[in-house]
Amino acid sequence: MAELSKFQAFVQCKCPRCRKGDIFTGSAYSFRLQKTNVNCPHCNLKFEREPGFFYVAMFVSYAMNVAEIITIGVASYVLGLPLIYENLWYYVSLILTGVLLLSPINYRYSRVVLLHYLTPGLHYVPGSGD
């Protein structure tokens, strides 16, 4: 099996150290509750580096939500929804629907961003877990 690049491991939600083990059980949009694995199934890396480690992911998720809200609002305007007071509830409903539909992705990728890019000292080690 060919080694994944850092970007491929990020997109596929793979372990940042071995790039082979899954960070999550299940898919983002399944009827099963998505859950973060405690350890990497391949190299046994503990994902929660310290108690409360994933609380920082809330800040990443907040930034992602703000970007999504701005994108949905601007896209609605560009696609022809006039920015007038009578259309306020259309904008609110579109933004809330978009945020609710993207919340599983935000949950997943805020943790992946934290592990892959914002954790100092956590780097790819070729052959780890073999």
- Provide the pLDDT confidence category of residue 113 given band limits of 50, 70 and 90: very high
Percent of the chain whose pLDDT exceeds 90: 68
- Provide the pLDDT confidence category of residue 110 given band limits of 50, 70 and 90: very high
Handedness of CA 74, 70, 118, 6 (dihedral sign): negative
CA angle centred on 29, ends 66 and 65, rounded to 5°: 5
79, 57 Cβ separation under 8 angstroms: no
**pLDDT tens-digit map of 22-40:** 999 988 888 778 889 999 9
What's the confidence (pLDDT) of residue 28? Answer: 84
Q: What is the DSSP letter of 23?
A: S
Token digits of residue 41: 């199934």
Residue spans of the domains in the chain: they are: 6-118
Q: What are phi and psi of 126, to 5 degrees?
A: -60, 135
- What value does the mean pLDDT take over residues 65-78? 95
What's the confidence (pLDDT) of residue 1? Answer: 57
CA–chain centroid gap for 20, Å, is 18
Higher pLDDT, 31 or 6: 6
Beta strands 35-36 and 24-25 are antiparallel
- What value does the mean pLDDT take over residues 5-13? 93
